[in-house]
Structure 1
Amino acid sequence: MRYRWKHGAPRCAFVTGAASGLGLIVARTLIAEGSSVALFDLRFSQELRGDLQAAGKPGQKVEFYEFDISDRGAVHTAVDVAAAAVGPPDLALNAAGILLAAPYGQIDDDGFRKVIEVNLLGTHYFASAVLNHMQRGGHLALIASMAGKIGNYAYGAYCASKFGVTGIAEVLRVEMIERGIDVTAICPAEIETPMVLTERETMHPVTRELKAFPGVLQPEPAAEMMLRGIAARKPVVVMGLRPKLTLVMASLFPGAARWVTRQLVTGALRKMKRSGAG
Structure 2
Amino acid sequence: MSTQRSEQGRRVAIVTGGSGGIGRAVAERLAADGQSVVIVYAGNKATAGEVVDAITASGGSAIAVQADVADEQSVEQAFDAAEREFGGVDVVVNAAGIMLLAPLAEMDLADFDRMHRTNVRGTFVVAQQAARRVRGGGAIINFSTSVTKLALPTYSAYAASKAAVDAISPVLAKELRGRDITVNAVAPGPTATPLFLRGKDEETIDRMAHMTPLERLGRPEDTAEVVSFLAGPARWVNGQTLYANGGLA
* Secondary structure of the structure 2 residue equivalent to 1:14: strand
Among 226, 239, 242, the alignment partner of 2:244 is 239
Output aligned runs, 1:85-96, within 5 Å.
85-96=85-96
Letter in 2 for 1:221: D
1:210/1:19 CA distance change after superposition, 3 Å: closer
Question: CA separation in 1, counterparts of 2:50 and 2:219?
Answer: 24
What residue in structure 2 maps to residue 174 of structure 1? Answer: 174
* Secondary structure of the structure 2 residue equivalent to 1:177: coil
Deviations 1:66-108 (A, max 9, x none): 1222222211222222222222211111111000111011111
* Secondary structure of the structure 2 residue equivalent to 1:39: strand
Where structure 2 has 5 or more consecutive residues not aligned to the other structure, the ranges are none
1:237/1:179 CA distance change after superposition, 3 Å: same
CA RMSD of aligned residues (A): 2.7
* Secondary structure of the structure 1 residue equivalent to 2:183: strand
What residue in structure 2 maps to residue 29 of structure 1? Answer: 29
What residue in structure 1 maps to residue 55 of structure 2? Answer: 52
Whether 2:156 is the aligned partner of 1:119: answer: no
Asked if the contact 1:138/1:181 (under 8 Å) is kept, the reply is yes
* Secondary structure of the structure 2 residue equivalent to 1:224: helix
Whether 2:109 is the aligned partner of 1:104: answer: no
What residue in structure 2 maps to residue 227 of structure 1? Answer: 228
What residue in structure 1 maps to residue 65 of structure 2? Answer: 65
Deviations 1:105-164 (A, max 9, x none): 111110000010001100011111122211222110011111344432111210111000
* Secondary structure of the structure 2 residue equivalent to 1:238: strand
Question: CA separation in 1, counterparts of 2:193 and 2:88?
Answer: 29
Output aligned runs, 1:200-215, within 5 Å.
200-201=200-201, 213-214=211-212
Letter in 2 for 1:146: S
Asked if the contact 1:226/1:237 (under 8 Å) is kept, the reply is no
Letter in 2 for 1:213: M
Asked if the contact 1:144/1:188 (under 8 Å) is kept, the reply is yes
Question: CA separation in 2, counterparts of 1:99 and 1:208?
Answer: 20
* Secondary structure of the structure 2 residue equivalent to 1:89: coil
Deviations 1:34-66 (A, max 9, x none): 211111012231444333332235xxx411101
Whose RCO is larger (CA < 8 A, sep 6+)? 2
Give TM-score scaled by structure 1 length.
0.75
Asked if the contact 2:141/2:184 (under 8 Å) is kept, the reply is yes
Question: CA separation in 1, counterparts of 2:100 and 2:200?
Answer: 11
Where structure 1 has 5 or more consecutive residues not aligned to the other structure, the ranges are 1-5, 247-278
Larger Rg: 1
Question: CA separation in 1, counterparts of 2:246 and 2:51?
Answer: 33
1:208/1:169 CA distance change after superposition, 3 Å: farther
Aligned-residue identity in percent? 29
1:200/1:87 CA distance change after superposition, 3 Å: farther
Query: What displacement does 1:209 show?
Result: 6.3
Letter in 2 for 1:44: K
Query: What displacement does 1:241 show?
Result: 4.2
By percentage of residues, which structure has more helix? 1
Count residues in correspondence.
234
1:199/1:86 CA distance change after superposition, 3 Å: farther
